[in-house]
Amino acid sequence: MSEHVGQTKGPEPGPAIGRGWPVASVAVIAAVAIVAGAVRAAEQNSNTESTTSPAAVAAPGQLAQMPSFADLAEHVKPTVVSVYVSAEQMGDASVLGEQGQGENVIPPGSPFEFFFRQFGQPGLKAPPRIIQAQGSGFFISPDGYILTNYHVVDHAKSVNVKTIDGQSYPARVIGTDAKTDLAVLKVDGKAGFPSVTFAETVPRIGDWVLAVGNPFGLGGTVTAGIVSAQGRDIGSGPYDDFLQIDAPVNKGNSGGPTFNLRGQVVGVNTAIFSPSGGSVGIAFDIPADTAKAVAAQLEAKGAVTRGWMGVAVQNVTQDVADSVNLKQATGALVDQVQPGGPAAKSGLKAGDVILSIDGKVIADARDLARTVAAQDPGKSIALRIWQSGKEQTLRLTVAALPTEPTPPAQPSRQSQPNLGLWLAPAGEVEGAGAEGVVVVSIDPQGTAAEKGIQAGDVILEVGGKSVSTPRDVTTDLEAAQKNGQRAVLLRIKTATETHFVAVPIGRG
């Protein structure tokens, strides 16, 4: 994962299938095929006594009262709207549903594209057309501002919202943020809409929650569950920090709110993990603090400004920590420093480990990306880093994340038996550039292969020292072994990025 330097290691931000997930998709949950005719649900009166929270555990010998969310549902449902979109379908039939009806509009290369390709015909081109899409949203202010998902309104030609009482209003898109999959809409010419409040505290795992939305066009649907997990990374981008809930969430719930028992929004429904395309009880929500902050910027200026320091980073594994003599496997290891960026001006170098920012401990690369993005451009921050075997403190002035960041310089692409490598100077291999040593062949059972090194990769540094010949690699590895190191850090250049790999010493 990288803090934005112009390219992100991994898929673009937004709900997506993540690395390591089974073939089953982490699916966008905006339902976009409009079923002919209207589905209307008849409300039934009930004399059952209701409470706004589940009953306490019954004493031995007593019958437990079944939980009821009726009062809570009645209170929050008026704040939720169904969102109906006329959108332009891109000219690719592979994003059509099984029945040939349009799903959501998915830009080429989007992380959402994987899901739709599982149910379509890859590579089959179709002319652009207008399709009808639908999702959910909710009022965040009485004067008509609505929060929903970016993927619900992406490529929208027109947007209408329908309230719980059946009233329909045209809405315009005020601003969108693809990186967090959020968008703000506005209903003009009317005020006094019931609106939500955002929770100020993060819900605990096991807390009851209520999801409200428009699944499959069935507006005003309420489902209940609990918070299953926090801090989920589903591979959609550097800002992943999703709540996982088990309330049934389906296509069309996208952009709808999830409430706690106080009627406060704790998250925005965004994605589901689904082998079948329907709910299996694993849904992902954008946390309330992120949604509130992004919504405020979109409402004020139609876009989101993020802090940027100009580095690419990766997680610190135990092998990496051993390689740089760091006691704990924590922080973010700097792979690359953007020339002329804030990090370069501060003295930060490739191979440094960022441990904290203004006293806030940095757990990993994702934590760094979120922390830096939240900083105001122009702010001076203190970085505590691990550099050349000791702690140091640098000051850095945060810049604004470029709208289209300049990508870092792209790296290009006879025996080291301990690692299972056959090497050659880069200058002797066409297209490999002039620096480093090229991996021309690799033992698939060797240590290097276990660590993900591939033929065509270029070794730039061994233990912080630049290398230019295979002999340099061997010499530096032997020196590290004599010094008692358990692992050595290699700086590797691939066809797309530069990163560090920690390899244990003395294994064949």
- The CATH number given to whatever domain includes residue 493 is 2.30.42.10
Same domain, 473 and 431: yes
Residue 205 has pLDDT above 90, yes or no: yes
pLDDT at 293: 94
Q: Which amino acid is at 507?
A: R
Same domain, 208 and 320: no
Residue 4 within a domain: no
Residue 217 within a domain: yes
Annotation marks residue 181 as catalytic: yes
Same domain, 298 and 313: no
Mean pLDDT, residues 88-92 taken together: 59
pLDDT of 357-387, one tens digit each? 999 999 999 899 999 999 999 999 999 999 9
pLDDT of 151-184, one tens digit each? 999 989 999 999 999 999 999 999 999 999 999 9
Mean pLDDT, residues 90-115 taken together: 36
- Cβ-contact 326, 316 below 8 angstroms: yes
Least confident of 93-102, 234-243, 337-346: 93-102
Same domain, 145 and 281: yes
Tokens representing residue 25 in the block: 């998709």
Q: What percent of the chain has pLDDT over 90?
A: 49
Residue 106's pLDDT band (cuts 50, 70, 90): very low
The single residue of 92, 154, 177, 181 carrying the catalytic annotation is 181
Residue 111's pLDDT band (cuts 50, 70, 90): very low
Residue appearing with tokens 């592979």? 94
Same domain, 376 and 322: yes
Domain closes at, from 400, 432, 467 = 400
Annotation marks residue 151 as catalytic: yes
Domain closes at, from 400, 433, 455 = 400
Enumerate residues 6+ apart whose C-beta is below 8 A from 29.
Answer: 15, 249, 250, 251, 252, 253, 254, 269, 270, 271, 272, 283
Residue 378 within a domain: yes
Q: How many domains does the chain have?
A: 3
Other C-beta atoms lying within 10 Å of the C-beta of residue 255: 34
Same domain, 133 and 259: yes
Residue 46 within a domain: no
The single residue of 4, 25, 92, 151 carrying the catalytic annotation is 151
Q: Which amino acid is at 72?
A: L
Mean pLDDT, residues 2-28 taken together: 40
The single residue of 68, 82, 254, 279 carrying the catalytic annotation is 254
pLDDT of 42-66, one tens digit each? 333 333 333 344 544 555 555 556 6
Same domain, 321 and 289: no
Q: What is the mean pLDDT of the chain?
A: 79
pTM of the model: 0.64
> E strands within 398-485?
399-400, 421-425, 437-442, 458-462, 465-466
Residue 283's pLDDT band (cuts 50, 70, 90): very high
Buried/exposed 348-368: b ≥16 CB within 10 Å, e otherwise = bebbbbbbbbeeeebebbbbb
Least confident of 208-217, 268-277, 289-298: 268-277
Same domain, 128 and 192: yes
Question: For 322, phi and psi rounded to 5 degrees?
Answer: -60, -35
Distance (Å, rounded) from C-alpha 297 to C-alpha 292? 9
Residue appearing with tokens 């790999």? 501
Same domain, 463 and 395: no
The dihedral built from the CA positions of residue 163, 167, 168 and 170, taken in this order, carries a sign that is negative
Annotation marks residue 141 as catalytic: no
Parent domain of 322 = 307-400
